[in-house]
């Protein structure tokens, strides 16, 4: 898939046997069969948007690497996926990039748990905005995203999923800002809030 090939990875982590092995392991993780939304297509989309916004980052290499790892561990039945993904990044990048970059990648991956970077966190803003860009999709594409998320939580009853999803949507709508990079905020805030509000209204009506 374009954007997730080895050349894109090697530009960040080098072209060594260790790097090639780690790339294969990362791609393999993103290819797990239970992923309906958090899959290689999502990874490619986030990497593409990070590329668009990279000029706003303080450390674009770390942001790109964090995009590769931000959902490398994804189990819908766990609540610590970001922590596991951050630890996976720390182990996987050991010896491939310098320690400061590893630390920044780990920090950025952890930020995607709440998508609420500090106002002066340029790297966090770029990664979180890229991860949430899907929320500003055209309504039909947003509906496809919502359906794919529901499929990942197939182990939950409709009532339990609806309650959990309502909480997620409310948390997103309560953020000080959905997007922090000015160009992203200007372009995506209005459609994203409209999509979130429409889904929330529908779910609340179902659970009434």
Per-residue pLDDT tens for 47-102? 999 999 999 999 999 999 999 999 999 999 999 999 999 999 999 999 999 999 99
The dihedral sign for the CA sequence 80, 76, 8, 185: negative
32 half-sphere exposure, CB direction, 13 A CA radius:
15
pLDDT on residue 31: 97
| pLDDT tier, 1 (very low <50, low <70, confident <90, very high otherwise) | low
- C-alpha distances in angstroms, 108 versus 2, 77, 170, 173? 23, 23, 23, 21
pLDDT greater than 70 at residue 24: yes
| pLDDT tier, 208 (very low <50, low <70, confident <90, very high otherwise) | confident
pLDDT on residue 3: 87
C-alpha to C-alpha distance for 171 and 155, rounded to whole angstroms: 23
Please report whether residue 127 resides in a domain.
yes
Tokens representing 140? Answer: 């039909």
Please report whether residue 1 resides in a domain.
no
Is 206 or 44 the better-scoring residue by pLDDT? Answer: 44
pTM: 0.96
C-alpha to C-alpha distance for 27 and 165, rounded to whole angstroms: 27
pLDDT on residue 15: 96
Please report whether residue 158 resides in a domain.
yes
Q: Which domain holds residue 74?
A: 6-207
pLDDT greater than 90 at residue 132: yes
Please report whether residue 203 resides in a domain.
yes
Q: Residue range 120-136: average pLDDT?
A: 98
pLDDT on residue 27: 98
pLDDT on residue 207: 84
pLDDT on residue 2: 64
C-alpha to C-alpha distance for 33 and 27, rounded to whole angstroms: 12
Please report whether residue 102 resides in a domain.
yes
CATH of the domain at 112: 1.10.1300.10
Please report whether residue 30 resides in a domain.
yes
Which one-letter DSSP state was computed for residue 94? B
- Residues above pLDDT 70, as percent of the chain: 99
The phi-psi region of residue 115 (left if phi > 0; otherwise alpha if psi is between -120 and 50; otherwise beta) is: left
pLDDT greater than 80 at residue 203: yes
Q: Give the chain's domain count.
A: 1
- φ, ψ of residue 94 to 5 degrees: the values are -55, 120
The dihedral sign for the CA sequence 188, 138, 150, 39: negative
């Amino acid at each position: 898939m374009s954007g997730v090939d080895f050349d894109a990875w090697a530009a960040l982590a080098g072209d060594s046997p260790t790097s090639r092995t780690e790339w294969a392991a990362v791609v393999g993780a993103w290819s797990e069969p239970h992923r309906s939304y958090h899959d290689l297509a999502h990874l490619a989309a986030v990497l593409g948007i990070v590329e668009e916004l990279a000029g706003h980052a303080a450390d674009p290499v770390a942001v790109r690497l964090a995009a590769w790892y931000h959902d490398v561990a994804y189990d819908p039945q766990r609540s610590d996926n970001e922590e596991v993904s951050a630890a996976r990044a720390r182990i996987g990048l050991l010896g491939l990039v310098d320690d400061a970059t590893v630390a920044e990648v780990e920090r950025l991956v952890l930020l995607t748990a709440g998508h609420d970077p500090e106002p002066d966190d340029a790297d966090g803003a770029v990664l979180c905005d890229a991860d949430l860009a899907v929320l500003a999709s055209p309504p039909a594409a947003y509906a496809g995203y919502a359906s794919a998320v529901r499929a990942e939580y197939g182990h939950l009853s409709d009532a339990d999923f609806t309650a959990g999803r309502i909480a997620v949507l409310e948390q997103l709508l309560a953020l000080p800002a959905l997007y922090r990079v000015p160009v992203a905020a200007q372009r995506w805030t209005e459609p994203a809030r409209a999509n979130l509000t429409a889904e929330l209204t529908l779910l609340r009506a179902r659970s009434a």
